[in-house]
Structure 1
């Protein structure tokens, strides 16, 4: 296909496609004449991945280039490629702060207790430690008592996520699913949690107050 058709099929403007080619994010098309290049389904798939990393994941061009480098490395295991994408989706923290030391120990103990095959320096571990440290500062340090319950629920969600991701074959499709699933999947999970809170609250406290309506 010509670049115009590629643009129509992906919704990416032609100047943007050319920019991605110049930045090395998208392979150049195969020259069919001095001024014409042809593109195929691999370019369409790569464009879809770039847009997912950019629009959904919020990654900068440099971070996208790092993820794509991992995708194109045939020696890198698939779970390492998926990790390279997932690691860049979370907030960046400085984990050297002293107030985080206790929270980091708690997180490492959780990882060991659950038998998770996760390195203690994983960015998500730092995110969790920051959240726990914030809870402690707000006087809710006992929230750590719920960690294993949350971890068990997270394991079920992770299994469902990977069952969905595993339907796709191409590594680029897998990475795209991870990006979309991580960002939008968390939004879905958060909304479901809030709905469940309303239901549990109505069932637990509604009866005490004599409310007939579950929506009270």
Structure 2
């Protein structure tokens, strides 16, 4: 396909595609003339992944380039590939998860808080990387809730973890009919980043409904 068709099918402008080509994010097409090239479906798949990483996940061009380099090394490992595009596995370290205690940003979570998250994931039977960023968020949230007078620990989150487990399974079900690893990676970014606000909004709608059922009057 010509670059004009690549632009139309990907939703990325021609000047932006040319920029990605110059910067090495997108491999060159097959030259057909001095200033013309032909592109194929692999360019389209990669371009859509680039778009999702930059426009949806909000990565810089430089960070996207690092992710793509790591993706190219691990195309045969879908699990690792998803970790790379979702930020669970740091691309700049060649796809090796952080070791415990090596993260530069703890979000204020201490060792005890992280131990609570470890207990929660063990209870759920989840196998995760040694020091996932999401664990830091959960640990800090538990600490903040207690600081504000809430009587809660990791066991309080178990019902929510069970809901999250079902949601994650649904997410991965949506990847089954993708055409290949790059399509799965793109769809994972879209589902994870774009669906999160909708999931929160659905929770609010459900809260309103159940509040009305339990406490609402005739109105």
**Post-superposition shift, 1:152?**
0.4
Query: For the structure 1 residues 212 and 164, does the alpha-carbon distance in structure 2 shift closer, same or farther, using more than 3 Å as the test?
Result: same
Deviation at 1:9, TM superposition (A): 2.5
TM-score normalised over the length of structure 1: 0.86
Distance 1:139 1:132 in 2: 11
Q: 1:30 touches 1:38 (CA, 8 Å); kept in 2?
A: yes
Task: After superposition, give the CA deviation of every residue in 1:61-91 in whole Å (9 maximum; x if it has no partner).
Answer: 12212322233225651101101111269xx
Contact 2:75/2:81 (8 A) holds in 1 = no
Matches within 5 A, 1:24-173: 24-74=24-74, 76-87=76-87, 94-95=105-106, 97=108, 100-142=110-152, 144-173=154-183
Provide the residue aligned with 1:175 in structure 2: 185
TM norm structure 2: 0.85
The corresponding residue for 2:18 is 18
* 52 and 131 in structure 1: CA distance in 2 versus 1, 3 angstrom threshold: same
Query: Following TM superposition, where does structure 1 have runs of at least 4 consecutive aligned residues deviating by more than 3 angstroms?
Result: none
- The answer to whether the Cα contact below 8 Å between 2:107 and 2:136 also exists between their aligned partners in 1 is no
Q: Give unmatched runs, 5+ long, in structure 2.
A: 90-102
Give RMSD over aligned pairs: 2.2
1:2 alignment partner in structure 2: 2
Do the aligned partners of residues 96 and 15 (structure 1) sit closer, same or farther apart at CA in structure 2, a change above 3 Å counting? closer
- Return 5+ residue gaps in structure 1 as ranges: none
